[in-house]
Structure 1
Amino acid sequence: MHLSVRSGLGSTRPSAPASTCARRARCSRRCVRPTSRPRAAADLLTQRSPLSVAATVEAMRRAAGMDSVHEVLAQDMVLARGLIEHGDFVEGVRAQLVDKDRQPMWSQASFDEVSGADVARLFEG
């Protein structure tokens, strides 16, 4: 499954100097270019389980066509069970909480390795 989290998210240019930032007068925190936030989000997603990210995107697509919160929550329950049974959840817990090495070994190394069939299997109850 092709899932690009990097395309079209802008550049990582440095922040504007405080003296040239028009928003500086309105905010007390450091001014950050709008393009840095999407880049940071994309970088964070690439550290997560590719299968889990792809499944989350698919869940949001499916939820957009649902008629009630009950349907969405039912889907989320099925997906949660699928993600726990798959193994990446357990690997994430191991890397974060047990060994604390912060080096998970995901079942798929990249988004390109995730197939539509892998994602669809997670939604089977």
Structure 2
Amino acid sequence: MHDTVCEILDALAASPDPAAAETAALIGTKSPTAVAVTLESLRRARELPTLEACFDQELRIMAHALAHPDFREGVRARMIDKDRTPHWAPATFEV
């Protein structure tokens, strides 16, 4: 198992399956913070006792995400300016 987002992206990019490389490229365009939070939430969800607990976790994550600058930046890039060039903070997946 790969432990970090960077390791996962590297493994996908190195895969001979074209869909894996496409997936890595797509994930690479997303907010590094959101991708890292998603990975951690999936890992934590494995330990949660019920689907309700998973939904509760998702609600709490989304409530925090709405306050993060990357949410506003993503809305700006996709919906307001429509330039599709978000400037994420941080800009890369490296720690």
TM range (shorter): 0.7 to 0.9
Deviation at 1:40, TM superposition (A): 0.4
**2:94 match:** 112
* Aligned residue pairs, count: 90
Structure 1 unpaired stretches of 5+:
12-34, 114-125
1:3 aligns with 2:17: no
Structure 1: which 4+ aligned runs deviate by more than 6 Å?
none
Q: State the structure with more CA Rg.
A: 1
| TM-score, normalised relative to structure 1 | 0.68
**2:68 match:** 86
| TM-score, normalised relative to structure 2 | 0.88
Structure 2 unpaired stretches of 5+:
none
Alignment of 1:1-125 (within 5 A): 2-4=4-6, 5-9=8-12, 10-11=15-16, 35-113=17-95
> If each structure's helix is expressed as a fraction of its own residues, which one has the higher value?
2
* Identical residues among aligned pairs (%): 33
Q: Which has the higher contact order (CA 8 A, sep 6+)?
A: 1
